Amino acid sequence: MRMVKWGVGIFLVAFLGACGSSQRASQQKLALVNIVPEAKMALSMDTLKDTVLLPADTLKISAVTRIDSIDEPVVLTPEEKRLQERLSGINKTADWAPAIHYDNRKPNFVIIHHTAQNSVAQTVRTFQLPHTKVSAHYVIGKNGQVIQMLNEFDRAWHAGKSKWGTITDINSVSIGIELDNNGKEPFAEPQIEALLVLLDTLKTKYNIPQTNFIGHSDIAPTRKDDPSSFFPWKKLAERGFGIWYNEDFLPQPPANFNPTDALKIIGYDMTNPEAAIRAFKRRFVQTEVNSILTPRDIAILYDLYRKYY
């Protein structure tokens, strides 16, 4: 009799387990029916599949896992977020006829920063914390180590509220490079050499104009002072990244030369002229950073204006 009871018990456990498995399988099947068609559509599109980083099988597993743990908060990986954004750009009520001519975001500026932190590890960590809401495409250490943190076609959050010329969304058109430096020290030689190699690659790859290699303080003069006056802008300009003036001969500006207009034409936001002048002097004068343009400062400005603009 005891054996019969044990047999019945084992049968009931097996039966209930099978029902549970069947129910979970049903839920999984339902999840796949509701979710996977969009994924399959995305993955089947020639114009989209190259940008999707998750294979179809991985997406199925992810979808089922979320259904099974629906009470838990959903945390998407960067790849899943990118896929979700791509899918959100598809109008499901419209027919699909893929075009063959299109581009990703094309960077046309490089913005150089210093981290104002104590180490590369600290900066990398800062860019990986959800609450900081800040990032850059590259971080370069004092020893010349180059760390890429975002695809160059992705829009990093490095410029903040800024303006250059008529452009007010600098993040959408630029690559951000952070140099490990606290802002109070010279930049290490290996770091600058690594930067020059990277800039050469970026300039060649995206055909970035020489005038479009600028600093964070150039585009946000009221908020930022990076890179500091220690930064070797002259050395960069000699390699074709950014601009510099003729130190051996500065021509006398004509009587009708207007420094305010020249700064604006170069790109500075003249809403706050004093801040713009400080940013200009931090980059091109470096030894005396204030809001007063001396005759020599005006001559430097004029030489830059006539050479590049």
For residue 244, what are the contacts with CB-CB under 8 A and spacing of at least 6? 233, 234, 237, 238, 284, 304
* Set 72, 80, 178, 238: catalytic member: 178
- Residue 298: exposure state from Cβ atoms within 10 A (0-12, 13-18, ≥19): middle
Query: Residue 121 has which token pair?
Result: 């590890």
Separation CA 147–CA 140 (nearest Å)? 6
Respond yes or no: is residue 178 known to be catalytic: yes
Query: Residue 273 has which token pair?
Result: 């002229």
Query: Residue 145 has which token pair?
Result: 């180590």
Contact 284/247 with Cβ under 8 angstroms?
no
Separation CA 268–CA 222 (nearest Å)? 11
User: Can you give the C-alpha Rg of the chain in angstroms?
Assistant: 28
Contact 113/176 with Cβ under 8 angstroms?
yes
DSSP 290: S
Q: What residues are labeled active site?
A: 178
